[in-house]
């Protein structure tokens, strides 16, 4: 358990955040296509080499989440990405869920699968150098209708079970809960639904005897839906976010690393800044940082376009975004 705590604490080191680079091949398909990049194992490998090989990355990034394919890949010198990252002091982690399925008995709501093979996966990845895992349940607010209680309970149960299994194998489970940004709901609605979800998840974690000091939380920020008429300002976002988390995330969790979930790079940074600014005024027990995917990579990807001559510039962009988010997460009293 001490080992788990050490890993979790390291992941939320003050002034650093987590890089989510575990996009499955299908997800990269559309992004690559838009930029005229072919989508195959080699291009994906090259892209991840671009990211992980960035000089100085470890100043701002404490850990990186990898997809299973990437976990087995090597850089152009033949070194495993896992080793490349570890040597830099960036903990490698692995996404272990097997994606979504439609939950029977609901109208198009999803549940996340993957428990059947989880034990074997954990044992295997732990041996290969993984230090933590990720599992993603997603919830949708449609027409101001909350996710159903069965969808919330079912996904929360899966999370509890997933976390218990991972800890048994010495891996820190990231506890992710994503209330999707799609929709036109208000920020109050988001707060209410996120609280429902978080309550159920943490209840489930306790039932499964998960050691909360050995997990890292990855919730959504409390925001208005993407197509909402009015966008709340950053300080409102900060206030709602902290209020909701204070109500539902136990103090023993060492850190909260927000997901970006569809925000632009700029929004994600601004919101994180506002949250940490607000956090200095209120009392909250966990470190607040980022676990971003798109919000770190969007510009970088645009700049790269798959061309080797663009790698240096792309890396600059990437490092820059890591740096500003790392500063935004620096929760030090002024």
Residue 154 engages other proteins in binding (rule: CB under 8 A): yes
- Is residue 276 a contact partner of residue 329, using CB atoms and an 8 Å limit? yes
Instruction: Please give the Cα distance from 161 to 192 (Å, whole number).
Output: 25
Q: Does 203 bind other proteins (CB under 8 A)?
A: yes
Report how many residues bind other proteins under the rule CB under 8 A.
Answer: 48
CB of 219: closest distance to other proteins in angstroms?
A: 17
Q: Interacting stretch for other proteins, rule CB under 8 A, among 81-89, 139-147, 261-269, 324-332? A: 139-147
Q: Taking a C-beta distance cutoff of 8 angstroms, is the pair 81, 70 a contact? A: yes
Residue 166, SS3? helix
Q: Determine which residue in the list 200, 212, 288, 331 makes contact with other proteins, applying CB under 8 A.
A: 200
Q: Which of residues 294-313 bind other proteins (CB under 8 A)?
A: none
Which three-class secondary structure state does DSSP give residue 182? coil
Q: Cα(293)–Cα(21) distance, rounded to whole angstroms?
A: 6
Grouping H, G, I as helix, E, B as strand and the rest as coil, residue 302 is: helix
User: Is 74 in a helix, a strand, or coil?
Assistant: strand
Q: How far is CA 149 from the centre of its chain?
A: 24
* Active site (catalytic) residues: 176, 218
- In the complex with other proteins, the residue whose CB is nearer, 28 or 142, is 142
Task: Give whole-number Cα distances, 131 to 61, 71, 127, 252, 329, in Å.
Answer: 15, 12, 10, 20, 22
Judged by CB, which is closer to other proteins: 109, or 273? 109
Which segment (67-75, 112-120, 261-269, 271-279) binds other proteins by CB under 8 A? Answer: 112-120
Is residue 161 within the footprint of other proteins (CB under 8 A)? yes
**192 sits near other proteins (criterion: CB under 8 A):** yes
Q: Give CA–CA dist 332/46, Å, rounded.
A: 37
Distance of CA 274 to the CA centre of its chain: 19
Give the integer Cα–Cα distance in Å for 32 and 43.
Answer: 9
Contact status: 209 vs other proteins (CB under 8 A): yes
Closest CB to other proteins among residues 10, 185: 185
Q: How far is CA 41 from CA 21, 45, 114, in A?
A: 15, 6, 23
Q: From the list 40, 168, 235, 264, which residue makes contact with other proteins (rule: CB under 8 A)?
A: 168
Q: Taking CB under 8 A as the rule, does residue 233 contact other proteins? A: no
Pairing of strands 172-179, 110-112: unpaired
Distance CA 237, CA 243 (A): 10
Q: Which two tokens stand for residue 88?
A: 């830099």
The reply to whether 207 sits near other proteins by the rule CB under 8 A is yes
| Dist. CA 168–CA 280, nearest whole Å | 35
Q: Is 42 in the site for other proteins (CB under 8 A)?
A: no
Shortest separation between residue 260's beta carbon and other proteins, angstroms: 24
176 touches other proteins (CB under 8 A): no
Which of residues 185, 240, 258, 304 is near other proteins by CB under 8 A? 185
Pick from 28, 123, 150, 226: which binds other proteins (CB under 8 A)? 150
Q: Considering beta carbons, is residue 206 or 280 the nearer one to other proteins?
A: 206
Is residue 232 close enough to count as binding other proteins by CB under 8 A?
A: no
Q: What are the residues binding other proteins (CB under 8 A)? A: 98, 101-102, 104-107, 109, 113-117, 119, 141, 143-150, 152-154, 157, 160-161, 164-165, 167-168, 185-186, 188-189, 192-193, 195-196, 199-200, 203, 207-210
């Amino acid at each position: 358990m001490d080992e788990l705590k050490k890993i979790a604490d390291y992941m939320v080191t003050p002034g650093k955040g987590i890089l989510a680079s575990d996009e499955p091949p299908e997800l990269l398909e559309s992004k690559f296509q838009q930029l005229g990049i072919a989508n195959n194992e080699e291009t994906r490998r090259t892209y991840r080499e671009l990211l992980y090989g960035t000089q100085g990355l470890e100043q701002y990034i404490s850990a990186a989440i990898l997809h299973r394919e990437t976990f087995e890949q090597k850089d152009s010198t033949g070194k495993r990405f896992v080793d490349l990252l570890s040597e830099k002091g960036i903990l490698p982690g692995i996404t272990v869920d097997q994606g979504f399925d439609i939950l029977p008995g609901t109208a198009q709501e999803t549940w996340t699968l993957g428990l059947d093979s989880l034990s074997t996966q954990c044992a295997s990845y732990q041996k290969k150098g993984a230090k933590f895992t990720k599992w993603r349940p997603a919830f949708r607010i449609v027409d101001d209708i909350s996710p159903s209680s069965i969808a919330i309970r079912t996904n929360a149960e899966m999370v509890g079970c997933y976390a218990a299994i991972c800890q048994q194998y010495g891996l820190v489970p990231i506890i992710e809960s994503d209330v999707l940004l799609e929709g036109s709901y208000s920020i109050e609605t988001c707060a209410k639904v996120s609280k429902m979800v978080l309550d159920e998840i943490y209840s489930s974690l306790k039932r499964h005897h998960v050691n909360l000091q050995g997990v890292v939380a990855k919730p959504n920020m409390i925001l208005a839906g993407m197509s909402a008429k009015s966008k709340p300002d950053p300080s409102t976002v900060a206030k709602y976010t902290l209020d909701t988390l204070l109500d539902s995330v136990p103090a023993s969790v060492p850190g909260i690393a927000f997901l970006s979930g569809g925000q632009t790079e700029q929004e994600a940074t601004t919101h994180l800044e506002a949250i940490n600014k607000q956090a200095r005024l209120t009392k909250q027990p966990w470190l607040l940082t980022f676990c971003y995917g798109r919000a770190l990579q969007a510009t970088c990807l645009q700049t790269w376009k798959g061309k080797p001559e663009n790698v240096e510039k792309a890396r600059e962009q990437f490092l820059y975004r890591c740096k500003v988010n790392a500063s935004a997460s620096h929760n030090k009293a002024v």
